[in-house]
Structure 1
Amino acid sequence: MSSTETVPAAPSLPADVRVGVIGVGQMGADHVERIARRIKGARVSVVTDYFREKAEEIAAGIPGCRVADGPEELIAAEDVDAVLIASPGAFHKDQAIACIAAGKPVLCEKPLAMNPQDAYAVVEAEKAAGRPLVSLGFMRRFDREYAELKDAIDSGELGQISIINCKHRNARTLPGFVDAMMVYDSAVHEIDAIHYFLDEPIVAVQAVLPVPGPRADEGQHDPMILLLRTASGRIVTDELYVNTDSGYEVRTEVLGSRGIATIGQEIARVTTQKPGGAWGGAIPADFRPRFVDAYDAEVQAWIAAVADGSLVAERSATAWDGYLAAAACEAAEAALTTEGFVPVTVLSRP
């Protein structure tokens, strides 16, 4: 879009915001169910998916919902006020820019794009539009524990922050989940969380890889550790272990001059975890039970922002946050095959 083109004005919204959902796989189907059953002030009006049969199956369970032939038709539809993108990440850039061109607010699941260049194109398109339209689905910003930790950091309760330790563990991954995917699908959440907590960018990343494990021949070092350095010199460790054969858990520990705060310990009361789930407690099988409340809060805040005209909720990740995350992930991927710290290259904000 050129700087001389204008974006259509936001239409007057009906009582319920009519949401179109692009992609109704695992995440998209969850969002459809969420909006239909638990979110106030919204309804799902249109869905689309590469597999039309899946879209028709989802639409059949939602009163008043229909199926569009593709993303372009859904974005342009008169009965769609706002768009939720849950398609594969490779399509997010073009779909987000199409929403911006149509003047429709969009909640895009991460990533914003598959590389920083494409993410920056979305930032530029939004800048040309003259108003914020893009919210990015980093749901941890809406988690109660993350919000409390953010408040503790901002208030100075913990004093000067020097080190943050993160842990990100999954039960298992599918074949083909290589090191780069550990960065872009897993570590990206910690990367955004650091931007959220500290309000400063990550400027360098180093990867620390273990001795070859059982899936090394598949291109996966598991577990691995990423070291991230922020603009003010703080150090973040991110331990990634995505095939624990136990369950899903994330933890964050912040070391400050006046105290130490840790979140994610509600499921960490068990002292012994063994492959196959042999322990004295329970851990969620995947991320959805852990963050269901955060997803609900994120979508509800987005709908409220659309309805009141602010378009992007105050706590939400923005297109710029998505660009910063993409730039840090690019450096982290390079660090997998580079000795020492790899600098994060960031362009000026438009």
Structure 2
Amino acid sequence: MSRTALSTFLTLAIAARFALAQPDPADPTPLVDKTYSYPGGIPYQVDYNTAAIRGPQTGYNICNSTTENQESLCQTSFVNQIDDFCLWAPASPNSTIADTEQSEVAWCTKNGHGTRVIPPGALTGVQYLRTPNYVQIAGYLDQTKLDIAAGDYGGELDPHGADLRGNPLGGLMYSNVYPSSNTDNNTYTQIIDWNSFIGGNIFCIKICDPSSSSSDQTEYCQNIYDELGCSYNMPNNGQNGTFEVCDADNMYPVGIYTSGGQTLTYSQPYTGVVSPPYTATPPASSNCVQYASDALYSATASSSTSAGASPTGTSGSSGSGSSSGTSGTGSGSGSSGAASVGVSAAAGLAGVAFAMAIFA
């Protein structure tokens, strides 16, 4: 399939998917159309309409030293480097993602963002991939340390949702990976297209380059395969116990696969069994550098992580092998709920967390 044909397919698929999504009349502006410069342009709350069906927003977007504690309700998140990123997770212990997707708060690996800090030891393996069009972070974690109930297989968080107001409502994403000035890595740029899965003691999060074409962002940060989890949305070779940064090729867009010499497409059904006819393949990676976890994630509620962790070793390149990783079969909290499709428990992280089937 040509690049033009692929972009056309994805545009039509997303249009069909979101034809079922309806803006809330009380807050009709989609979250992806709400843009704010950092930090001065951010309002206290992005989604503040009390008349909205799923509202109002439970947290806030102006976050600083006064909001930085383990009770923070900050809903402004960041994805920067392997030692500096945030995950969306509940604000109250023993919660499920399905019950709290609209109200998740930011948990970050280091101080300085005005958020909660991911407790030491919560992250047990992380792979950070730099590709031409996006940055992807995937890994293993003890989710109970981020207030997620043990056994919850979680779901997807993204800036869309059934009412286009996002999950969480009003959740903003910023990064210094794509600064407005290439010489200033202190400049934070709003990330419009991103998605994340968490649950089943794994997570994955991807941000697309906001300066790339809209078709590229549609290809790599789409949100129409919310029930396929990390294994298809963000295939990778991450390992539990390993913390590494790699260069990587772009992944093959979700739903596009080859069989018998033909390029075919798979569309996630709105109801019924989700059973993709192919196994996702992680993109080829290279220049992988491994780090010691305690050099990356030593932050606590009162001390900051060192920004310049020293590598402990360099691993070789990895070709685009078959997708493999953690699997599970228990019931999740979402409407689809459980484990990843078609993966083994033998090797790297391919994903468990399915999303709830509300176009999350």
- State TM-score, norm by structure 2: 0.24
Q: Which structure shows the higher helix fraction?
A: 1
Which of the pair has more CA radius of gyration? Answer: 1
- State TM-score, norm by structure 1: 0.25
